[in-house]
Structure 1
């Protein structure tokens, strides 16, 4: 049973020393090596030892880790992992370190599996040279499959990832349209390449006839805008905030139904929802907790006095009588999002009250 998201595996005497040294620099890395190199402290340190060949061990642990560092020759690693590969979206990142710890090489799942970043960290820990051959990394351009990942952005059109990535690294004409989400996604200390241009709207980008496009928005595209995705990738930033109130005991199914219905009415994507916000009287409301957990959304609760610090459009004396706040869904959405205007001030549907805000796109 694994205890950590990363592992380092070795097969030689020198490799074992490197693996042990590397694990001391990582608080979340398991160590795996042959029992014949046992040093006596393995049980205390939680080190996994094996008899025989690494080929017999690797299949049982390969997909149990987010990333694996192998102090093994790169040719051997290729042959070892080839039969274990499933999909670039799920395969772990693999980094190879040579027996003299001179190089740390990103071998597999450089982007999605995080091997490129792991390579840099391993190289820094060992004093080795990081070797990364991913085209977007080498060319210092946008890694399409990782665009916005550190902010939590998700794809809504992954079928074009390969073709759009090719357009980017081949320096074709690329359009970027960003309507929401974090703006500090350019990671290099130089201007963007001239082939990549920002456009104020999808309509403007379509008119420019780009070879490929990256579209960042919380909106559902209109039929007129859809052609931008013929060779484009749609990203969903986490910017939608749901302020919510409900009667005690309201089911998660009813809450979820109201959310979906409301977002459809507003033409917004559920993939861009970041949080459900409410009053702290509802911090144990099972339906709200269940819905937030199902979608991986944050669940934030505010005290009545905090909600009352927000100026709202529809204060209610009745709500105040029962909760101590003049509103729940509207001020909660405003507090979390920081938005001056809401996409939906307030709607009552069955046992649920909902307000919708969009976190402003910082310039």
Structure 2
């Protein structure tokens, strides 16, 4: 579908992520697609004349007519807008939309070669300076920051791990935790899952940021604030008051199902299983299955709903993996001894599964932590 932009009509956009990326040139489209691949917490918009045929797969929305008419909807729905448009043009287009630095979204500008990323609007309160660093890191570009206080080179709390697709559970404590980081108070960092290479600066981490091996040791140290990276459901009463929990994309779900299983049943099984295991659904990265199930509408519906990767494996690939309780019946009809268990082993690279296999109604489900 192509969005037909009209004067004084709010564009009917589909918002899935926290940030929007907008491009209007051929080179800009290349940069936008590359940025989305390295910074998944983005929705991409570009002109329909640059359509490549795989836009739905890459979370791209096409539009026609003046890009100026797209900005009112973007301002209304996104925390940040990343534009691959000249700085002067962006200034003119967004000027009528500006309200106050407390409510305006962050606006970042990238040049048409992707060499420079410029923090343009809402640098501090809106997070544009931190967003600029994240985007520049994702593109291997130069971050251009013009505010003096942002030379501290520390963790941007609202964007911590954003380039990996990490999400925070709640925005309630972002402000006090950010203040603790900026003011160099004792901030504990506990990482239980996810990518390890999250420090984005060439300078050492400030001594006020202290990494702990466990939540227990971190809380015993009585820090002023805490950054916690985990896919576990945590009892927040056991944590320091000012904390932010980040959900890394560190889990994969393997599933098999009977032909024609409803998406509602699959959704319910996934939620119930994750709750039983004490795991956050925000940390799921992918759903994997057998190639014979790649056209099941229920799997397409679920992965689209949660913006998960959907991957399937061949018979030979599945049969190359350990199956704890192989099924001769499944093999008779499909040529494989199992689906959900070997699929998550393949995707995660992990021999120790969080759930080997559970049969529930018309489905089987397995869960694994992804090894990074």
Q: TM-score interval w.r.t. the shorter chain?
A: 0.7 to 0.9
Partner of 1:67: 82
Larger radius of gyration: 1
Q: What is the CA-CA distance between 1:193 and the residue it aligns to?
A: 0.5
Q: What is the CA-CA distance between 1:104 and the residue it aligns to?
A: 5.5
- Given the two structures, how large is their TM-score scaled by the length of structure 1? 0.74
For residues 145-294 of structure 1, what are the structure 2 equivalents within 5 Å? 145-222=158-235, 226-228=237-239, 230-294=241-305
Per-residue Cα deviation, 1:76-101 (whole angstroms, up to 9, x for no partner): 9997443387946xx3515599xxxx
Per-residue Cα deviation, 1:6-39 (whole angstroms, up to 9, x for no partner): 369xxxxxxxxxxxxxx68634799xxxxxxxxx
- Out of 73, 76, 83, the position equivalent to 2:99 is 83
Distance 1:255 1:235 in 2: 26
The SS at the match of 2:252 is strand
- Out of 21, 26, 29, the position equivalent to 2:28 is 26
Partner of 2:154: 141
Per-residue Cα deviation, 1:248-286 (whole angstroms, up to 9, x for no partner): 111000011111111111011111111111000000011
In 2 relative to 1, CA 255–190 (structure 1 residues): closer, same or farther, beyond 3 Å?
same
Partner of 1:40: none
- Given the two structures, how large is their TM-score scaled by the length of structure 2? 0.73
Q: Contact between 1:110 and 1:116, CA under 8 Å: does it hold in 2?
A: no
Distance 1:359 1:94 in 2: 32
Q: Contact between 1:245 and 1:328, CA under 8 Å: does it hold in 2?
A: yes
Q: Contact between 1:157 and 1:233, CA under 8 Å: does it hold in 2?
A: yes
Distance 2:165 2:179 in 1: 23
In 2 relative to 1, CA 156–112 (structure 1 residues): closer, same or farther, beyond 3 Å?
farther
Distance 2:218 2:137 in 1: 36
Q: What is the CA-CA distance between 1:114 and the residue it aligns to?
A: 3.7
1:107 aligns with 2:121: yes
Any stretches of 5+ residues in structure 1 without a counterpart? 9-22, 31-43, 50-56, 98-102
Partner of 1:19: none
Distance 1:219 1:120 in 2: 28
Q: What is the CA-CA distance between 1:64 and the residue it aligns to?
A: 4.0
In 2 relative to 1, CA 86–325 (structure 1 residues): closer, same or farther, beyond 3 Å?
farther
Distance 2:261 2:90 in 1: 59
Q: What is the CA-CA distance between 1:130 and the residue it aligns to?
A: 2.8
Per-residue Cα deviation, 1:137-193 (whole angstroms, up to 9, x for no partner): 421000001101000111102111111111001100010000000000001122211
Q: What is the CA-CA distance between 1:294 and the residue it aligns to?
A: 0.7
Distance 2:64 2:312 in 1: 42
The SS at the match of 2:196 is coil
Q: What is the CA-CA distance between 1:118 and the residue it aligns to?
A: 6.7
Q: Contact between 2:271 and 2:281, CA under 8 Å: does it hold in 1?
A: yes
The SS at the match of 1:142 is coil
Any stretches of 5+ residues in structure 2 without a counterpart? 6-10, 12-19, 33-48, 51-62, 76-80, 112-116
Q: Contact between 2:252 and 2:284, CA under 8 Å: does it hold in 1?
A: yes
The SS at the match of 1:158 is coil
Distance 1:121 1:180 in 2: 21
Q: What is the CA-CA distance between 1:305 and the residue it aligns to?
A: 0.9
In 2 relative to 1, CA 25–249 (structure 1 residues): closer, same or farther, beyond 3 Å?
closer
In 2 relative to 1, CA 29–58 (structure 1 residues): closer, same or farther, beyond 3 Å?
farther
Q: What is the CA-CA distance between 1:214 and the residue it aligns to?
A: 0.3
